[in-house]
Structure 1
Amino acid sequence: MEEIYSSPDTQGPSSFSGSKVQRKKHVSASSISSQNDLEKDMTEEDQRRMKTASDYHTKHESALVWRDVTVTISGKRKYSDKVVKGCTGYAVPGTLTVIMGPAKSGKSTLLRALAGILPNTAKVYGEVLVNGRKSEFKYGNYGYIGRKDELIDTLTVREMLYHASLLQLPGFISRAEKAAMVEDAILAMSLQEYSDSRIGSNFHSKGLSNGEIRRISIARELITNPQFIFIDEPLYHLDCVSSLLMMVMLKKLASTGRTVIFTMYHSSTEVFGLFDNICLLANGKMLFFGETLSCLQHFANAGFPCPVMQSPSDHFLRAINTDFDKIISMCKNWQDEHREFSTVKMDTAAAIQTIETTYKASADALAVESMLVKLTEKAGPMIKSKGHANVFECILILTWRSCLNMARDFRYFWLRLMLYMLLMISMGTVFTNIGHTLFSVKARVVAVFFFIAFTSLLSIGGFPSHIKEIKVYSHEKAARHTGLIPFLLGNLLSSIPFLFLISSLCSVVIYFLLGLRSDFSLFMYFVLNFFVCLLINEGMLMILASFSPNVFKGMLTMVFLQIIMMLVAGYFRLRDELPRAVWKYPLSYLVFHTYAIEGLLENEYVGVSFAVGQIGSISGEKALRDSYDISSSRNAKWINLLILVIIALGYRLILFLSLYMGEKCRSWPYRSYRENKCFVN
């Protein structure tokens, strides 16, 4: 017990505190006195910061115990809401504990229950003890790596981890120390060879493999020096070589005193030999917990000995996976004519019952109970929360990281800029030399309408990048690395320079090719109008990305919405001629196309008159009467621009509410016990 719950001052020389104890033997009495005087002069805040900073270098060994854990999730299973049923076990420092079982056996649910990150719809019954105490995991003391790796493809490995360190670590830790922690994480996961390589592929590089990307995700969680590491399917989509390398890395992590728990469906014989403890599940029931070699003996005692030429994990899954019953029934005729298809001579349900009954009466179950008593008879040190970047720092970090991503991702803005420029040149050449007479008014109305409509449609090209942004944010928010407001502000601030660049370059081309009025103030209004329209489209894309992570469905939805907006924008039919229900009220007053087109036409024609005959004239707004409704006021265009700004802010507010309510209502895959309010003792 004392070895497991050793205090920092009694640990080996590799720890921060232990090395300090060794140095004290060689310090003179006068130096000790001066050090005490210095500590007295330090403020309480400085002492707290030094203690907090030392927590990131000190190795605290912690154990995890769970007893009779049952998890119910409404609607998760057709036959029962109980996904996990009465599981008991433990995980101690320096060991690899694997939760193994067939598909839909409750592996990931049990792992999330232990980590305290179940969805809102889940309820947990039983005990989960950390160092013998009933407490939740604190920030920075555990790392959870999901099945999917959400990384930014345009960054290098070192850049990805360094920006993660800026978010995860408090501001009073120097950047040099953060960079050193990043290098430690790179070294721990053997990523030195790829540290300056881009994560994703581009025109001249292929990008990293699945195994390397998986190791980056684990390295990201190692930055805060967590005591517990939870991994859902660490070998997901990995080949046999990458799988073995991954397990060697995890074994090395466990040897540093960390507690590593992970799920796995299947493993090779070499990988299986690296496990220390195994928790075997089937249909949510625990069939065995103990050492991996003892599991082989347990199956032999239950009447299912493992054949010599078969992998242990294959044998376990064959005995407890109900899907094999279907395969055997399909191949029954083939079995009769040839050899036996399987060495298991029993129905799977009966085999599960036999294995479970044998375990409950075995010495292995008694050994687990004895170990649980030993681990919980004396409470160990309570784990404390570690600090992270404040809101202002998060905004700056996310803004800069998004700028890097947008500048390097060809699809994000540069592809759209090329398409916009081609569209501007095409439209400009089609509508060039239309003159400035009364007969040119209708042609310019057509040009302005299609300018707003087509540029809005082309904004759909950035939708895949917005989906990636939302996914990365979801992971970081779930891990409590950042918050909703820093993400939204960072995304907005980083997009402004790129959108303004697009609006400026495109406006230079289209404005003069259309022969619009040569006045700098009028040109700048044209640029601002187009810029706000781009902001509105970005907001719409982000809202769709928050609702639908599917690229195809999201792009179809965006096209449909843009077409509806075009229909009620006042071009095909004037607003007063639209059917009053739905189309005029409220749609025509909600779409931004109406205000953008009105503003551009008012910018061009208010205050302008056209000669009619030799002595008559007609104002610009009257010349537009049959083509578009605009106001004769010189301030009307600024009112329309203000409405556009309000719409842009309104879409950002809708995005905020969408993500915020999604955190509260949807089954997000990351929650703490306290946030769930569903942990029942």
Structure 2
Amino acid sequence: MGCRMCDSDDSCRQISGDSASKCSKGLKYESVESRMKTYHCQLHPSIVVTQVDMACNRTARTCQFYAFEPNRTQLEMYYLSCNLTDCNFKTGSSDGECGVTQCKCGKSCTAMTRQLISSMINGKPVGIVTSGSDTLTVDIKDSPIPLRSTCTASACENTSTSAAAGNHRSMNGWLIAIIVVCVILMIGLVLFFAYVRWRKTYLEQQEHVEGAKLSMFVRGDAHVFQFRNIGCRTVAPSFLGKKSNTPEKIILHGISGQLQCGKVMGLLGPSGSGKSSLLNTLAGVSNGSCEITGEVLIDQHKITKSMRKTSAYVHQDVTLFSTLTVRECITYSAQLRLSPRVSESNKKELIESIISELNLHKVADSRIGSSDSKRGISGGEQRRVGIGMELVTSPQMIFLDEPTSGLDSASANSLVQLIRRLADHGRIIIMSIHQPSVDSFLALDRIMLLAEGRLLYQGAPLCAKAYFEARGYEFPENGSIAEYLLNIASKPEGLTYDPSTVEIESVSTTLSSRSNEFKSSEFDRKQFDSIDQSPLEEARDTAKHCDVTNGYNLIVTTKCVTKKDIDAAYSMERSRLMELRVLFWRSGLNLIRHRSLFQLHMLLSVLLGLVGGFIFNHVTDDLAGFQNRSGAFYFILTFFGFASLSSMDIFLAERSIFIRETGALYYTPSSYFIAKSALDSVFLRILPATAFGCIFYWIMGLQAESSRFLLFLLTVVLFNLCAGSITIFVGTVTRSVGVANLVSIIILLVMLLFGGFLLNNDTMPGAVAWLKHISAFNYGFETLMTNELRGIVLTFNAPGYPSIPIYGDVFLKTMKLYYSNRYYDVLALAVLTFAFQIGALNALTSFSLEKDQLDPDGSPESVFLQKNDIILVRHRAPTSSIARPLVNDDEYFSRMKELLSSGENSDVVIEAGPERASFPAHRSILSARCEFFRAMLRPGAMKESTAGVVRITNHSAEMVSKMLEFIYTNRVSDLHKLGYEQLIELLTLAEQYLLVSLRCACEAAAQELLNLVNIGKFLVAAENHNANYLKEACLQFFVEYRHEILQDDAFREEVENCPTIAFQLLKVLAQNMPLMQVAPIAVCSTISTESSKRRRLCMPSDEEEISRDWT
């Protein structure tokens, strides 16, 4: 066939008669007009010394193949002739494939050769593959030996047609490029306009609360935090439905109590008394495997999720990131927990105010530090940081678990005084405290003394001494009141007492008889009845036993209301993007400052890439090369598999931080997991594997094709990610680093055994063969081996035998590794990675304390306890020995009103007004329900206490009687009938005598009477008496009807006498500039009607609502 080949353009022109024809001598089909090619080849000497001629016709889709002995080119002298049909050759390529092969032997063929041709060649598809410029391989399917030859080829082509086709392809390429660019531009424009719209909305939301002062305002409007019959007992573990024989232990015995806003309650008691269990129950934090019973209420309403967000819990052991500074810790708390509506400037202002309030400005830029790293701030300062991280949400309720433990007396007292100042802003603070100092003890408003889960005492700290002395417990000389109480709770039988005072019994006996003892007289019984019936008042207070208070000031000005803009700052849910941004920033900063692990990973990857590459350098294409390739690939997988154990404690080390922050609703578990896992994947998995692969691959001398290198790199990276996901999963489901390491090593060894190298896939026992499908080593090893050995020719050079070239595919088939599985293997690695990551996320979510312990639906019969693994739903336990009195509200209020009007058993007289009208009253009731009277009437405190007469001459007798009615009954029966001047006077009395509930009720009633005539007087009264709800209503009314109001001379006179009101009016006008365009309503009667329809600001309006919400 050599005579069919052209050697010049002239020969093509002579044959075709076309002057545009030319002779193309390459192996590639250059154009669509390249119809035939003639090949003259010399087979590789390692196979056989033979010449081959081949002619292919693209139009007929056939090829003819002839093999000759050397120097014989006549057709009749061939010894092998083949006809290939159903052939395809692509334009621009030299490769092709034929569907069917039919060969026959010439005269020189032996019988064995004919048999081999019939069984191994005939009927098989053939691939024609070129490499380089002159090497052509005929690849017969399932043939172990490649027919590789060095060839020359030629064909006559029409250049004009080829040029036109080339131009057509070029035009098509330009058209595709233009379309792609247009699509990219359109996507970019859509994304740009979406960003502009989002940015505009974001800025508008920020402007909504731009002027909000967030620093020390309290979020929420709760007045009384109440809990009833709180019980707790351990739940015996069960296995396969059978309960354990372990006896149940009762931790808390039906404890009840309450606390008003602006107050601090301390839970005292020896170790094991139930302080932490009670605190955790009240705060909605896990108590372990415990069953909880009882009710927790806020203003007589069940705890809801919105109320849960206004509380904060500070753990005893505050775990912080040692690499972050104080300011950074508070900053990420603010970024995660404040609404996007709050601008960055307001957030910074809030952060700085918290740092200043907590006296942390000197260490604001100091790192937290830890015992195993660089030393940082002190333990007391760390507690302050933990409190500051909770204050960013302006919570109204704060629960602290032994915040002074481990601190010296000075630091502990400083911390308690700080907590005292926080309460003065209107917060409800409950904390467990162990052995407080005298100053710390006196800073508490109320205490609860617990012993063995039972309540011994609840009331004012300074009243405890008189209370227990009245029951025969002698106070030691020069003793501390706190130690005195702890000794009673710890060893009551060992204390000295005066037997002439009272018969002393054991604590358990005393507790069981407390109800009868407390109700020893009819008046005390009425006091006891009021505990549960009047939740706004002190529960089980023992004020009548109080001794001299040693000058301790019991009068505390509280602020129980919040700004509307403050609530708006928290009303909008955080976006997932914000959570991810902050968590990526925090985790990245932590990784950068604690970068030793990343540096070690990179160093080891680079060193092992260099060392391993040089060890396996210049791998050969023979049996030794096959062994080296197999060993090198398995070494790579083993190295990265066991190096992934560094991810073991990625979540274990931060478990306590994660539980605390998810319990406080900092973020969702999924956001935390994505940030941590993504950074671990990039810095500890992808980058080290990439560095290793880029070094090792080229030094070892593996296949140089870019596609093979990219598949190698992808496989190594995916395997490293998969191994890291396995260790992360094990680290999240276990709670010990030692156990996690052992389990991970066992899992990796099992995967290693079934990885396809140590054990042949066909010889695996059927019972365990399925393990190869979950082995990451199996998928990684198969991909690396097939990617390298597919298509290459290895010399089978066994000692003592002739060398034979054999396809690498033969070795792969021997090991049951298949190139066709490469995409499946890559996908399997990705699926395994994703599956283990999802499993780790689910395991991590199970540790989250996001859900409320308390029933969010307000069910009165159940309480929810969130555990680490399950949620227990329990019914209310039987009531304690101190049963709630069976008396309805109407009967109770009627009795108390009768007691006030009759003056029966009264021991003090209230003289009111210029006429000095007399009202008989009772010291115990006044002291128990009014702190002002408590301080005034304590023995020896003031002359009123000695004389038994209290004169209130600067207020009318009518309003003083209304105040006394509220003290006795928690209501004012005809409050809605009072005029605005009477309401202002009653509001003044409520503020002077610290009756927060009466003040709020007066504010509610005043809003109903608000009009053009009295707005000035109400506004001045609200400013002078901390009536913030009323002031907000007045300001809103002023904005709506400013034109009519400003024309009133009386209003201007009121404002001129109070500059602060003038400033607030200017400010509210500036904030409501768009409202200036609204036409005012001029008719006063219409104004009065419209004002009565105005939306209420979360305040009760009539007598029934007051009775329901404030009693």
Q: Is contact 2:472–2:498 with CA below 8 Å preserved after alignment?
A: no
Residue aligning to 2:881: none
In the alignment, the residues of structure 2 paired with residue 274 and residue 298 of structure 1 have an alpha-carbon distance, to the nearest angstrom, of 19
Map Cα deviations across residues 607-631 of structure 1 (whole Å, 9 max, x no partner). Answer: 21113468731122323556x4321
| Distance 1:259-1:637 versus aligned 2 partners, 3 A rule | same
Counting aligned pairs with the same residue, the percent is 24
Residue aligning to 1:590: 774
Superposed, which structure 2 residues align to 1:647-662 within 5 Å?
647-661=832-846
Q: Answer yes or no: is 1:606 the counterpart of 2:794.
A: no
| Distance 1:523-1:47 versus aligned 2 partners, 3 A rule | closer
Matched to 1:592, the amino acid is A
In the alignment, the residues of structure 1 paired with residue 778 and residue 497 of structure 2 have an alpha-carbon distance, to the nearest angstrom, of 71
Secondary structure of 1:389 counterpart: coil
| Distance 1:318-1:177 versus aligned 2 partners, 3 A rule | same
Superposed, which structure 2 residues align to 1:277-288 within 5 Å?
277-288=446-457
Q: Answer yes or no: is 1:70 the counterpart of 2:226.
A: no
Kindly state the Cα deviation for residue 366 of structure 1 after the two structures are TM-superposed: 7.9
| Distance 1:597-1:172 versus aligned 2 partners, 3 A rule | same
Greater Cα shift, 348-357 or 56-65: 348-357
| Distance 1:295-1:365 versus aligned 2 partners, 3 A rule | farther
| Distance 1:528-1:302 versus aligned 2 partners, 3 A rule | farther
Please point out which of 599, 608, 632 is paired with 1:414: 599
Superposed, which structure 2 residues align to 1:382-393 within 5 Å?
386-393=571-578
Q: Answer yes or no: is 1:617 the counterpart of 2:805.
A: yes
Kindly state the Cα deviation for residue 404 of structure 1 after the two structures are TM-superposed: 2.2
Q: Answer yes or no: is 1:518 the counterpart of 2:714.
A: no
Q: Is contact 1:167–1:389 with CA below 8 Å preserved after alignment?
A: yes
Number of matched residues?
612
Q: Is contact 1:411–1:462 with CA below 8 Å preserved after alignment?
A: no
In the alignment, the residues of structure 2 paired with residue 365 and residue 453 of structure 1 have an alpha-carbon distance, to the nearest angstrom, of 78
Residue aligning to 1:464: 649
In the alignment, the residues of structure 1 paired with residue 472 and residue 511 of structure 2 have an alpha-carbon distance, to the nearest angstrom, of 9
Kindly state the Cα deviation for residue 69 of structure 1 after the two structures are TM-superposed: 2.7
Q: Is contact 1:116–1:672 with CA below 8 Å preserved after alignment?
A: yes
| Distance 1:105-1:421 versus aligned 2 partners, 3 A rule | farther
Q: Is contact 2:451–2:490 with CA below 8 Å preserved after alignment?
A: yes
Map Cα deviations across residues 245-272 of structure 1 (whole Å, 9 max, x no partner). Answer: 3222212212222111011233334433
Superposed, which structure 2 residues align to 1:196-595 within 5 Å?
196-201=365-370, 205-321=374-490, 350-354=506-510, 357=513, 361-362=517-518, 370=530, 374-376=534-536, 386-410=571-595, 412-498=597-683, 499-582=685-768, 584-585=769-770, 587-595=771-779
Map Cα deviations across residues 564-606 of structure 1 (whole Å, 9 max, x no partner). Answer: 2212212221122222213x12x21101111111111122111
Residue aligning to 1:130: 298
Matched to 2:510, the amino acid is T
Q: Is contact 1:438–1:623 with CA below 8 Å preserved after alignment?
A: no
Matched to 2:398, the amino acid is I
| Distance 1:566-1:236 versus aligned 2 partners, 3 A rule | farther
Q: Is contact 1:139–1:386 with CA below 8 Å preserved after alignment?
A: no
In the alignment, the residues of structure 2 paired with residue 217 and residue 188 of structure 1 have an alpha-carbon distance, to the nearest angstrom, of 13
Q: Is contact 1:673–1:679 with CA below 8 Å preserved after alignment?
A: no
| Distance 1:544-1:525 versus aligned 2 partners, 3 A rule | same
Q: Is contact 2:229–2:295 with CA below 8 Å preserved after alignment?
A: yes
Q: Which has the higher strand share?
A: 2
Map Cα deviations across residues 149-185 of structure 1 (whole Å, 9 max, x no partner). Answer: 2422222221222122111111121112122222222
Matched to 1:604, the amino acid is E
Alignment TM-score, normalising by the size of structure 1: 0.80
| Distance 1:349-1:514 versus aligned 2 partners, 3 A rule | farther
Q: Is contact 2:205–2:340 with CA below 8 Å preserved after alignment?
A: no
Alignment TM-score, normalising by the size of structure 2: 0.50
Kindly state the Cα deviation for residue 146 of structure 1 after the two structures are TM-superposed: 2.3
Map Cα deviations across residues 494-531 of structure 1 (whole Å, 9 max, x no partner). Answer: 33431322122122233234332333333332222222
Residue aligning to 2:1018: none
Q: Is contact 2:791–2:808 with CA below 8 Å preserved after alignment?
A: yes
Q: Is contact 2:776–2:829 with CA below 8 Å preserved after alignment?
A: yes
In the alignment, the residues of structure 2 paired with residue 80 and residue 355 of structure 1 have an alpha-carbon distance, to the nearest angstrom, of 21
| Distance 1:140-1:128 versus aligned 2 partners, 3 A rule | closer
Q: Which has the higher helix share?
A: 1
In the alignment, the residues of structure 1 paired with residue 204 and residue 516 of structure 2 have an alpha-carbon distance, to the nearest angstrom, of 54
Q: Is contact 1:96–1:251 with CA below 8 Å preserved after alignment?
A: yes
| Distance 1:349-1:443 versus aligned 2 partners, 3 A rule | farther
Q: Is contact 2:662–2:850 with CA below 8 Å preserved after alignment?
A: no
In the alignment, the residues of structure 1 paired with residue 289 and residue 622 of structure 2 have an alpha-carbon distance, to the nearest angstrom, of 67
Secondary structure of 1:138 counterpart: helix
Kindly state the Cα deviation for residue 424 of structure 1 after the two structures are TM-superposed: 3.6
Kindly state the Cα deviation for residue 358 of structure 1 after the two structures are TM-superposed: 5.8
In the alignment, the residues of structure 2 paired with residue 427 and residue 68 of structure 1 have an alpha-carbon distance, to the nearest angstrom, of 70
Residue aligning to 1:330: none
In the alignment, the residues of structure 2 paired with residue 386 and residue 680 of structure 1 have an alpha-carbon distance, to the nearest angstrom, of 33
Point out which structure has higher relative CO (alpha carbons under 8 A, 6+ apart): 1
Which of the pair has more CA radius of gyration?
2
Superposed, which structure 2 residues align to 1:29-68 within 5 Å?
50=208, 54=212, 56=214, 58-59=217-218, 60=221, 62-68=223-229
Across the aligned residues of Structure 1 and Structure 2, the Cα RMSD in angstroms comes to 3.8
In the alignment, the residues of structure 1 paired with residue 796 and residue 248 of structure 2 have an alpha-carbon distance, to the nearest angstrom, of 82
| Distance 1:369-1:395 versus aligned 2 partners, 3 A rule | farther
Matched to 1:568, the amino acid is F
Matched to 1:610, the amino acid is L
Q: Is contact 2:756–2:782 with CA below 8 Å preserved after alignment?
A: no
Q: Is contact 1:299–1:355 with CA below 8 Å preserved after alignment?
A: no
Q: Which runs of 5+ in 1 are unaligned?
A: 1-42, 326-340
Greater Cα shift, 281-290 or 418-427: 418-427
Residue aligning to 1:39: none
Q: Which runs of 5+ in 2 are unaligned?
A: 1-200, 238-244, 539-559, 858-862, 865-872, 877-1111
